[in-house]
Structure 1
Amino acid sequence: MGTIIRHTFLDSNGIRMHVTDAGRGYPILLCHGFPELWYSWRRQINALAEAGFRVLTPDLRGYGGTDAPEEIEAYVMRELVEDIHELFDALGIDKAGVVGHDWGGALAWQFALRHPERTERVCSLNAPHLAPAPVPPSIALRDAYGLTDKTYYMRHFLEPGVAERELEADVRDTFQKLMRPGKYADAVEAFMTVGDGTSLLGKIGPGETFLSKIDLDTYVRIYKRTGFRGGLSWYRALDLSWEQDKDLPSSEIELPAMLIVAEKDPLLRADLVEQLTRPHVKNLRVERLDCGHWTQQEKPTEVSNLLIDFFGDLRDPSME
């Protein structure tokens, strides 16, 4: 008999959130990245639930079955953190292990920083934890990449409607091109450096996806309904978040933390992610996996085993 995954909708921080709930035991929250869904953790849900944890996987603000407000101001980091804070209240959870990948990793770090009293331990896949930069992110990206033939994708995302039109033109093609194993790191590199500023996907050639037909159909079905605007709004709120948070009193996290980095991720390079994180996280464990950007989907067993090891002693012995 497989793990039973319960789907529910809860009010949190002024929005309606879709969250899955599986297993019983110590709660572990899993936060997805862009462009993903709760579904990106499907393999970890089963493994963690069978190992004796209660596993909670929301569609984050703007994604899937969760509300996607129109205003860019609704996607600043303070609001995203508060979504999780109030979700804990709605679920009756005092404290949990918090895990995130990509944007979800950034959210996991920020939740641990702002609500250490609600965070038992924190784990990020691929995303660094760092102090606010001295200039807004859009300026830092302009200075780093300019408006040349290697315009950075995050700047390309900033104008509403532009990225949506390309990503939504053929949703199946979008996911087949993006979600590829580490040996196709050049596809992620092509996506990152948009070229002449007109194409996110045009330079990506043929290649295999690690998604099964069912997985691909799931992403396509949901994104055809929702589009990509909600997830893109996280990028469009970067400068607003920076303005609000540039004077935070501290960026240091003292909780037990684990950083999982991907050796073949050209977007969030393993050495750089570790280098950026270490000065701000005192109790840090670093693990490396031989994969590309989509870590928990490409290496599901390895990620599940690392999480079980990291959180294992929190389990109720009677459930083992």
Structure 2
Amino acid sequence: MARVLHNLLLFLLRLAQGVRVLGYWSLIYGYCALCTTVALLKLWWSIILRPTTTFQWVIRETPPGCLNDTSLGTHCYVRIKESGLRFHYVAAGERGKPLMLFLHGFPEFWFSWRYQLREFKSEFRVVAVDMRGYGESDLPLSTESYHFEYLVTDVKDIVEYLGYNRCCLVGHDWGGTIAWLFAIHYPEMVTKLIVLNCPHPSVFTDYALRHPSQLLKSSHFFFFQLPRFPELMLSINDFKALKALFTSRSTGIGRKGRWLTAEDLEAYLYALSQPGALTGALNYYRNVFSSLPLSQNHVRSPVLLLWGERDTFLEQEMAEACRLYIRNHFRLNIISGASHWLQQDQPDIVNTLIWTFLKEGEGRKSYRN
């Protein structure tokens, strides 16, 4: 009798787990369907209002001059033996100085750190990487190639290739997520962690599940799960949606700060118009729901979190909640008037706050190998 009850209990537990998993994926794909319907309606409406809508785009063959600005650094490449992938990065500052590594977000590339490359090269070896799937780095075709574990390992391999065993790590948006995860899994390799407009992964997950407002702001996560259609929506009318993302009043770069120039915008369009570029960028989102949970989630490095007050993609309340996951010094600065792209529209303030943080505590000697 006891054995029968034991087996019945196991069956019920497995059934409950199966129902939970089924409900989880039903919710995700149901929301995907809703977001797709909204996108289709917008597309249909734009075709009616603008019959000249074109589904083709121009592949930019010549990079704008700003990408070859020598004041930003030297263009370099590295092929990682383990993954076989080639990465592009821009480096400045003397070799042997402490390493400051920059990880960009979506839909950007190394160029988003142009103001920081100029600022910190005086005392650091500054390196801004094109992450896998972006810019001139390799673009793996399979979605599985963009799992978090591979993205984190990329950072480790690049740091070691550059001849360092630790660095000051700076990340924004998706680059911020990878920076958080890298600091969690390789704490000995991060002297200080600087994250811009990206909450700790556990904070984002918990908050989004409990606050419908954030779930609505994250609707693009669900829409981007679809194959090919998001690429179409982002690229029609010569990347009109991406242009709006960078320049509109609600989401764009620069309101009270520095505006994105026409040449700066063309640099982004040059990178994103290359074959496969949009798919590589979107594959970061296509793995987010299937990634394994963190085995442990506390950060032991000193952390600076910078947050743009005008971020339209993330609720500001998540920033303070990150404190719960820091086992070291934590500084949070909310920058008034700054957008989600705060290192570009408020670079002077961002750079000043980073300098202040770098000079706190252990001092500059802590950055050397």
TM-score (norm 2): 0.70
Is 1:83 aligned to 2:154, yes or no?
yes
Q: CA deviation at 1:145?
A: 7.7
- The question of whether the paired residues in 2 share the 8 Å contact of 1:126 and 1:261 is answered with yes
Match of 2:334 in 1: 288
Q: Where does 1:1-320 land on structure 2 (aligned, <5 Å)?
A: 3=71, 5-12=73-80, 13-24=83-94, 25-50=97-122, 52-131=123-202, 144=212, 152-180=219-247, 184-185=249-250, 187=251, 210-226=259-275, 227-241=277-291, 244=292, 246=293, 248=295, 250-275=296-321, 277-282=322-327, 283-290=329-336, 291-312=338-359, 313-314=363-364
1:185-212 CA-to-partner distances (Å, cap 9, x unmatched) read 3x47xxxxxxxxxxxxxxxxxxx99211
* Shift in Å, 1:232: 0.5
> Whole-Å Cα distance in 2 between the matches of residues 46 and 287 of structure 1?
22
Q: What secondary structure is seen at the aligned counterpart in 2 of 1:170?
A: helix
Asked whether the 8 Å contact 1:172–1:216 carries over to 2, the reply is no
1:9·1:16 contact (CA, 8 Å) conserved in 2?
yes
Rg (Cα) greater in structure: 2
Q: 1:154 deviation in Å? A: 1.0
Cα displacement (A) at 1:174: 3.1
Q: Alpha carbons of 1:134 and 1:269: their partners in 2 closer, same or farther (altered >3 Å)?
A: closer
User: Runs of 5+ in structure 2 lacking a partner?
Assistant: 1-68
Taking every aligned residue pair, what percent have the same amino acid on both sides?
29
CA 1:42–1:156: 2 relative to 1, 3 Å: same
Give CA deviations for 1:31-72 in whole Å, capped at 9, x if unaligned. 10000010000011001113x111010001110001111111
Contact 1:20 1:58 in 2 (8 A): yes
Deviation per residue, 1:149-179 (Å, 9 max, x gap): x881110110111110011123453343111
Q: Give the number of aligned pairs.
A: 284
What code does the residue aligned with 1:30 have? F
Separation in structure 1 between the aligned mates of residue 306 and residue 79 of structure 2, nearest angstrom = 31
CA-to-aligned-CA distance 1:14-47 (integer Å, 9 cap, x gap): 3111011111221101110000010000011001
> Counterparts of 2:146 and 2:136 in 1: how far apart (Å)?
16
2:214–2:314 Cα contact (<8 Å) kept: no
* SS of 2:105 mapped into structure 1: coil
Query: What stretches of structure 1 move > 6 A for 4+ residues in a row?
Result: 132-135, 145-148
Q: Secondary structure at the match of 1:34?
A: coil
Which protein is richer in helix relative to its size? 2
Provide the rounded CA distance (Å) in 2 between the counterparts of 1:261 and 1:132.
15
SS at match of 2:158: helix
Q: How much does 1:73 deviate? A: 1.1
Contact 1:26-1:96 at 8 Å conserved across structures: yes
Contact 2:204–2:318 (8 Å) recurs in 1: no
Q: Which string of whole-angstrom CA distances, capped at 9 and with x for unpartnered residues, describes residues 108-149 of structure 1?
A: 1111101111111101101011438889x9xx59x948999x
C-alpha distance in 2 between matches for 1:168 and 1:295: 25
Q: Quick one: which amino acid aligns to residue 237 of structure 1?
A: N
Please, what is the CA RMSD of the aligned residues? 2.9
Q: What's the TM-score once normalised by structure 1's chain length?
A: 0.81
Q: Is contact 1:4-1:23 (8 Å) kept?
A: no
* C-alpha distance after superposition, 1:80-130 (max 9, x if no partner): 000010011211111100010111111111111011111111011010114
C-alpha deviation, 1:303, in angstroms: 1.1
CA contact under 8 A between 1:33 and 1:105: conserved in structure 2?
yes
> CA–CA distance in 2 between the matches of 1:90 and 1:20?
14
CA change 1:170–1:27 in 2 (3 A) is: farther
Q: SS of 1:112's equivalent?
A: helix
Q: Aligned partners of 1:58, 1:102: CA distance in 2, in Å?
A: 14
